[in-house]
Amino acid sequence: HVLDTLTACVQKGVATEIERANEEIAFQATIREDMADHWENYTCADDTLNTTEAKRTETWRGRTVSVMIDRPASKIHTVENFLTEDECKAVEEAAKPTLHDATVADGSGGSHKSDARKAKQAGITVHWDKEADGDLIARLSRRVYDYVNHVLPFNIMEDGQEDLMSIQYFGRGPEEDQPDRYMPHCDGDCNGMLFKPGNRMATIVMYCEI
């Protein structure tokens, strides 16, 4: 009887602490998302704002790289002329047949539509067997892996990785209440916890038109 009473007491205490921790995680996630919305609107509303200065610049295969953030757990680089005009056209053409409303990851292996990403998207299969023949999409994809492995201490190979994703904005102008756009958002879990093995480690966003 004493053991049962003690077990019930411990269970109640643990359940209360877990509930309190989950509430704090949800609160912090809401703050991060709200901050992202405000920052996006603030920076985009004033095109006279100074651009953040790079911590340093370097070169990679003849391309200028601006290192904006360089921390052990987070790195942001901008690379000029990462892809060519021909590669852009090849990606756009490959995406045309399967364009559909864009989604974001839900943290559980699935995806859902979100106001944070209003655009059209299409997955593009990379034909690695055509890489030796100069296939433009395979060439671009190889460059993506090469740069990620240049920056991170891993040897990430193409096997088992996601295909390229083409995001196309057909916009309706800045005066629209909800124009096509890509807003700051959490692409997966947004709880501030440590990285889960098996999730995304790096993303390269390439712009063909600005």
**SS3 per-residue string spanning 5-40:** HHHHHHHHHHHHHHHHHHHHHHHHHHHHHHHHHHHH
Q: Are 123 and 165 in contact (CB under 8 A)?
A: yes
Residue 162: per-residue pLDDT:
85
Residue 26: per-residue pLDDT:
81
Each residue's pLDDT tens digit, 113-159: 666 567 888 999 999 999 999 999 999 999 999 999 999 988 899 88
Residue 60: per-residue pLDDT:
97
Compute the average pLDDT of residues 30-54.
Answer: 75
pLDDT category at 170 given cuts 50, 70, 90 is: confident
| pTM of the predicted model over 0.75 | no
Residue 51: per-residue pLDDT:
79
Q: How far is it, in rounded angstroms, from Cα 33 to Cα 40? A: 11
In what helix (H) or strand (E) does residue 88 lie, and over which residues does it extend?
helix 85-95
Residue 9: per-residue pLDDT:
74
Residue 172 one-letter amino acid: R
Q: How far is it, in rounded angstroms, from Cα 83 to Cα 88? A: 7
Q: Which two tokens stand for residue 180?
A: 């096509």
CA angle, 195 then 196 then 199, to 5°: 100
- pLDDT mean across residues, the chain: 82
Higher pLDDT, 166 or 186: 166
Q: Are 190 and 29 in contact (CB under 8 A)?
A: yes
Residue 109: per-residue pLDDT:
55
Each residue's pLDDT tens digit, 4-24: 776 777 777 778 888 888 888
Q: Which two tokens stand for residue 134?
A: 């100069």
Q: Three-state DSSP class for 41?
A: helix
pLDDT category at 2 given cuts 50, 70, 90 is: low
CA angle, 161 then 167 then 194, to 5°: 50
CA angle, 52 then 58 then 63, to 5°: 100
Q: How far is it, in rounded angstroms, from Cα 161 to Cα 61? A: 24
